[in-house]
Amino acid sequence: MSQRPMFATVTVAVCHCGAGCLLGDIVGEWLVYGTDAKINGHHLWVSYLVDYGFALLFGIFFQYFSIAPMSGQYGPVTVWRALKADFLSLTSFQVGLYGWMAIYQIAIWNFDLRTNNVVYWWMMQVGMFLGHWTAAPMNWLLIKYNVKEPCA
């Protein structure tokens, strides 16, 4: 284990998770915007599903190439470890992000704020900041119980 304080190790792990989330959101949000996909007349619900799917794919990819070189194990076992680590980490991250998205999209903007508006992306950054803090406890547990390899 690293000589760094656990707080620093967890922070790096959450940023690692957030990177997959950010890329998933960028791809997912523009895909939903471009296709004008809606559930119950709103883009938000489709965004939740599509963003989560892409974030999970990016996250598993990142986790795999973080875990495999450090453990020296490649293949299905490491993919499974990456899936476990990223699913739990990403889901806890999305609690903060999606909670904020619901607040600003439903309560503040009445579903009118769209992806092509700079304010939308600023609101997403606020959500990612909140997601960082909702993911920190889960990442601490994942590292503590050796489900997730510490990146730092």
Residue 16, pLDDT score = 85
Q: How far apart are CA 124 and CA 24, in angstroms?
A: 12
For the whole prediction, is pTM greater than 0.85?
yes
Q: How far apart are CA 50 and CA 58, in angstroms?
A: 12
Q: Specify whether the CB–CB gap between 20 and 151 falls below 8 A.
A: no
Which one-letter amino acid corresponds to residue 120?
Y
Angle at 113 between CA 110 and CA 118, to 5 degrees: 150
Does the pLDDT of residue 137 top 60, yes or no?
A: yes
Residues in the chain: 152
Per-residue CA distances from 59 to 1, 22, 42, 89, 121 (Å): 22, 10, 26, 9, 20
pLDDT in tens, 87-128: 999 999 999 999 999 999 999 999 888 999 999 999 999 999
Q: How far apart are CA 73 and CA 77, in angstroms?
A: 8
- Report residue 27's pLDDT band, with 50, 70 and 90 as the boundaries: very high
